[in-house]
Structure 1
Amino acid sequence: MIINISQRLRTIVDLVQKSNIICDIGTDHGLVPIFLVQNKIVKKAYACDINEKPLKTAQKNIDEAKLTSYIKTIKSDGLQSLPDENFDYAIIAGLGTPLILDILKHDKNNISKYIICSNTNVADIRMWAKVNNYQILTEKIIYENDKYYECLVINKQLKNINNSKLDLLMGKSHSQKDFNFEIYSKLWNKRLLKNKKLIEILKKKDYKRYKNLKKINKQISKRLKYVSEKFL
């Protein structure tokens, strides 16, 4: 069985460099580990999920792909039931930032890198990396099925590079060679508009939050102008 994957999953697997062992947290159908092993990007993988139903589906797909010697399914609440092996990558994708941060509370020493793909703002994950002195190597933004996903590659072996508050909020994907200005611009203009609506509500209800959000919007607009001048 040859696996076909979506654009979002393709972006995630493209972030994985050749490795010995990875784990896929919240594996769902097990497509990511199957693709990685089939294409000889990784030698061994663990497909992990907290629920029995997706694990059964993943196991069925693994059996059909004839990869049972290379991919094992594990019922695990996030990272908590991982075996005592050294993982080159832990992949956490398709979840929102609050749940991802809950999973990262159980960060383990035997994980070298994280590939994280969230369907909500990843500013708090950038802050988590900064607090733990981990370096963000790469950032990607994906648009699929009317949703934006932000992906980060976090290397725990490298120390954090000092980032401004704006970098923590918006990231540094604009400084990468394969930067997609169109998606970046649409995402941040959408967030700007959402903030503007909230600013109007806060104006009469919470002046302190109103001033703070207005300041943030001004900084976002300034960064967008800088990036647009650079790429257009």
Structure 2
Amino acid sequence: MIKLSKRLQMIAERVPQGARLADIGSDHALLPTYLVQQGMISFAIAGEVNSGPLDAAMKQVSDAKLENNISPRLGNGLEVVEPGEVNTITIAGMGGSLIASILEQGKHKLEGVKHLILQPNVGEEMVRRWLLENGWFLTSETILEEDGKIYEILTAVRETEENEGKSVQLYASRTYEQMPETLIDQELLMRMGPYFIQPNPSKIWIAKWQMELAQLERIRQNLAKSDMPVSRQKEEELANEIRRIQGVLTCMQKVQQ
């Protein structure tokens, strides 16, 4: 039986029972193999863009004797899927820009798809923005740390009459009575996560943004050494960005108290 990493395990737990799955960038078909072995699904596509990983996926499927359940396929993004063939898609371990690009280029392949489970390594806001602009409602966000790295898992469903308008509400600007002067607008919600910006925030989420602030401050200090006007402008923009992010963290910590 396959044993998954903590990250893949959390993704697996978000796949609906009985789903017809396409796992894009499948990494040895670990996730589909595990889900079939656990009896959670009976059919999956393991998509790979290069022949080496595809060979590894085929070997995994063969060794597990799951050739009738898992179809390893070579192709770029959603090229491996036919419209209506699956109802759930997982894309993990890529940058948010690439995930958004895969979804955009393969929009015509999303017919019949009801669930998206996405794990960007960076650029999460690009994924959130694509979902909002293309009729998908972000239902949950999860954050975890594994082997010194922090990951976010975003789950979305198609917008329907039942959840119509919820996406707009989710990203509506907000303030908290503990810090009414701190406006958390759509830009910050997109970047930092609408479900994460809540009372009692995750310690891992706080740690992530403290590291992000430290990195932004290092960049700002380097810019401060330059006399070029463009550097002054960029330094000012970064200083404002740092203040906004720090304001959110401070606000959440006050709300928590």
TM over 0.5: yes
Aligned residue in 2 for 1:161: 168
| SS, match of residue 110 in structure 2 | coil
Given the two structures, how large is their TM-score scaled by the length of structure 2?
A: 0.81
Asked whether the equivalents of residues 5 and 31 of structure 1 are also in contact (C-alpha less than 8 Å), the reply is yes
Asked whether the equivalents of residues 181 and 231 of structure 1 are also in contact (C-alpha less than 8 Å), the reply is no
Asked whether the equivalents of residues 138 and 152 of structure 1 are also in contact (C-alpha less than 8 Å), the reply is yes
| SS, match of residue 155 in structure 2 | strand
Aligned residue in 2 for 1:17: 16
The whole-number CA distance in structure 1 between the counterparts of 2:55 and 2:251 is 49
- Does structure 1 residue 173 correspond to structure 2 residue 195? yes
Look up the equivalent residue of 2:192 and give its one-letter code. Answer: M
Asked whether the equivalents of residues 47 and 71 of structure 1 are also in contact (C-alpha less than 8 Å), the reply is yes
Aligned residue in 2 for 1:192: 213
Where in structure 2 are there 5+ consecutive unaligned residues? 172-185
| SS, match of residue 102 in structure 1 | helix
Aligned residue in 1 for 2:28: 29
Deviating more after overlay: 97-106 vs 161-170: 97-106
- Does structure 1 residue 94 correspond to structure 2 residue 93? yes
Aligned residue in 2 for 1:141: 143
Structure-2 change in CA distance of 1:218 and 1:197 (3 Å): same
| SS, match of residue 129 in structure 1 | helix
Give the deviation of 1:125 after TM superposition. Answer: 1.3
Aligned residue in 1 for 2:71: 72
Where in structure 1 are there 5+ consecutive unaligned residues? none
Aligned length: 230
Given the two structures, how large is their TM-score scaled by the length of structure 1?
A: 0.89
Aligned residue in 2 for 1:218: 243
Structure-2 change in CA distance of 1:132 and 1:224 (3 Å): same
Give the deviation of 1:92 after TM superposition. Answer: 0.6
Give the deviation of 1:201 after TM superposition. Answer: 3.1
Asked whether the equivalents of residues 137 and 157 of structure 2 are also in contact (C-alpha less than 8 Å), the reply is yes
Look up the equivalent residue of 1:154 and give its one-letter code. Answer: A
Answer with 1 or 2: which has the greater Rg: 2
State the superposition RMSD in angstroms.
2.2
Aligned residue in 1 for 2:180: none
Aligned residue in 2 for 1:208: 233
Aligned residue in 2 for 1:59: 58
Provide Cα deviations, 1:57-91, integer angstroms capped at 9, x if missing partner: 11222122222111111111011231233422111
Give the deviation of 1:225 after TM superposition. Answer: 1.8
